[in-house]
């Protein structure tokens, strides 16, 4: 581990004091702070705007296990901001990016958004790595708490779209509990034969073209792998979802299309690998 410990020469914000002391660009300093690699008087601080006094002991972890601290977080990727106000920010999560730091490292959305804000963002819901679309963050502890409460109380309406290669009825409801699949680590099963967690999804077919079906999904609950497991239970796993036996595709073709909370409505454009299946209306 490579770290730098120094004494603040003057009063100021944590970001400004570190930028002067370490002679690093403001963006690099914001990344270190957002990644949790900076300590003030022995306590981790993720807020670049936090005030520090002259004489404070600052520690910045620059490398861990031979890699830059927070490696893989903000790596030049440009975030697509869908909505922002003083309390919240919504971004379009690219496929292949983790929602939050994982044990294997790699780029993650939480670090990207935190670096943009200059302090730690509040992640209140998570999309799987290969899933794209709307992801909402709180910009303060109070805002994050309010958003988390809205999700828990079911006041957030979500619309996903997915591509499957099996026939589905024009619409329907899936009311099947979810439990871990003992035969497949990391996979969930939708069945009433186990003591699972309540899960409910409504679906509507959007289009059918070339043997593929584009389906809109409206989850009432927010369980891990809920949409993936529910569609698999119908015999229609999502294309590209290798864990659940989906047809070949570059990635799991699941997209968080819309999110509504009160008067706030946010939509992420349909990505190209999904939009090719929208050309032929089903009815």
Predicted local distance difference test score (pLDDT) of residue 217: 98
- Reported as a single tens digit per residue, the pLDDT across 25-56 is 766 787 788 777 889 988 888 788 889 999 99
Predicted local distance difference test score (pLDDT) of residue 171: 97
Residue 216 has pLDDT above 70, yes or no: yes
Predicted local distance difference test score (pLDDT) of residue 20: 87
Span 77-106, mean pLDDT? Answer: 86
Span 163-179, mean pLDDT? Answer: 96
Cα 188 to its chain centre, rounded Å, is 19
- Reported as a single tens digit per residue, the pLDDT across 109-149 is 988 898 888 788 999 999 999 999 999 999 998 999 999 99
Share of the chain above pLDDT 70, in %: 89
Predicted local distance difference test score (pLDDT) of residue 54: 92
Question: Measuring CA to CA, which residue among 72, 44, 65 is closest to residue 1?
Answer: 65
Predicted local distance difference test score (pLDDT) of residue 65: 47
DSSP E strand stretches across 143-276: 156-164, 171-175, 178-180, 188-190, 200-209, 212-219, 254-261, 264-267
- Domains of the chain, earliest start first: 2-68 (3.10.290.10), 81-152 (3.30.2350.10), 156-275 (3.30.2350.10)
Predicted local distance difference test score (pLDDT) of residue 94: 94
Span 189-207, mean pLDDT? Answer: 94
- Reported as a single tens digit per residue, the pLDDT across 81-91 is 999 999 999 99
pTM: 0.75
Residue 190 burial (CB count, 10 A): 25
Residue 139 burial (CB count, 10 A): 19
Residue 104 has pLDDT above 60, yes or no: no
Active site residues: 128
User: DSSP class of residue 248?
Assistant: P
Residue 282 has pLDDT above 50, yes or no: no
- Whole-angstrom Cα distance, residue 19 to residue 189? 50
Token match 């100021």: residue?
12
Predicted local distance difference test score (pLDDT) of residue 194: 84
Predicted local distance difference test score (pLDDT) of residue 260: 97
């Amino acid at each position: 581990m490579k770290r730098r410990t120094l004494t603040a020469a003057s009063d100021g914000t944590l970001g400004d004091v570190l930028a002067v002391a370490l002679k690093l660009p403001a963006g690099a300093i914001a990344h270190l702070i957002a990644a949790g690699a900076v300590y003030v008087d022995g306590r981790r601080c993720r807020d670049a705007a936090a005030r520090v006094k002259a004489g404070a002991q600052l520690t910045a972890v620059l490398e861990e296990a031979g890699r830059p601290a927070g490696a893989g977080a903000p790596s030049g990727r440009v975030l697509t901001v869908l909505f922002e106000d003083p309390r919240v920010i919504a971004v379009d999560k690219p496929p292949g990016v983790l929602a939050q730091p994982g044990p294997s490292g790699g780029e993650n959305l939480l670090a990207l958004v935190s670096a943009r804000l200059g302090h730690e963002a509040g992640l209140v819901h998570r999309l799987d790595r290969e899933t794209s679309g709307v992801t909402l963050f709180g910009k303060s502890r109070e805002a994050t708490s309010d958003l988390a409460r809205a999700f828990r109380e079911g006041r957030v309406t979500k619309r996903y779209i997915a591509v499957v290669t099996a026939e589905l009825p024009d619409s329907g409801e899936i009311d099947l509990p979810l439990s871990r699949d003992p035969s497949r680590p990391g996979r969930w099963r939708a069945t009433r034969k186990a003591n699972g967690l309540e899960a409910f999804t409504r679906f509507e077919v959007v289009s059918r073209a070339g043997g593929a079906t584009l389906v809109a999904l409206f989850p009432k609950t927010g369980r891990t792998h809920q949409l993936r497991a529910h569609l698999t239970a119908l015999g229609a796993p999502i294309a590209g979802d290798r864990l659940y036996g989906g047809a070949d595709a570059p990635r799991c073709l699941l997209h968080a299309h819309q999110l509504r909370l009160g008067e706030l409505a946010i939509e992420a454009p349909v990505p190209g690998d999904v939009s090719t299946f929208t050309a032929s209306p089903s009815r």
